[in-house]
């Protein structure tokens, strides 16, 4: 059963979008595709379906300083190294930054 509700934007090979733990000290994995409701995470860390994760999406838009978007996500599927997360919560103040990130990788 397909759980995606929107087209996800594939992350180009020259772009690296890290997901960090909520403290910002540990790399959890790298986003492989993304939309406004979720993302596919490449990670060596195992996640159980239904598990919640609080973290930071690190993005670099137009060579500005790296910006970290806080989020809460829920794992909705997974295999050995790929995990699908739905975004459950992102601060309203950060939605524009997520829009800019999605626009950047869509070009």
Q: What is the pLDDT of residues 33-56, one digit of tens each?
A: 888 899 999 999 999 999 999 999
Q: What fold characterizes domain 10-106?
A: Thrombin, subunit H (2.40.10)
CB atoms within 10 A of CB 26: 11
Domain boundaries, the chain: 10-106
CB atoms within 10 A of CB 13: 6
Residue 17 CA to residue 56 CA, distance in Å, equals 10
Q: Is the dihedral of CA 51, 52, 54, 56 positive or negative?
A: positive
Q: Is the dihedral of CA 88, 71, 91, 40 positive or negative?
A: negative
Q: What is the pLDDT of residues 50-90, one digit of tens each?
A: 999 999 999 876 666 788 999 999 999 999 899 999 999 99
pLDDT of residue 35: 87
Instruction: Check: CB of residue 15 under 8 Å from CB of residue 25.
Output: no
Residue 15 CA to residue 104 CA, distance in Å, equals 10
Put simply, whether the predicted model's pTM sits higher than 0.75 gets the answer yes
């Amino acid at each position: 059963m397909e759980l995606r509700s929107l087209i996800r934007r594939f992350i180009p090979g020259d772009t690296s979008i890290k997901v960090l733990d909520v403290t910002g000290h540990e790399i959890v994995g790298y986003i492989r595709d993304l939309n406004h409701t979720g993302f596919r995470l490449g990670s060596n860390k195992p996640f159980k379906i239904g598990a919640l994760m609080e973290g930071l999406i690190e993005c670099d838009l137009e060579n500005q300083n790296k910006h970290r978007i806080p989020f809460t996500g829920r794992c909705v599927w997974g295999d050995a190294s790929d995990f699908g997360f739905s975004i459950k919560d992102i601060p309203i103040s950060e939605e524009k930054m997520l829009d800019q990130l999605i626009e950047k990788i869509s070009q």
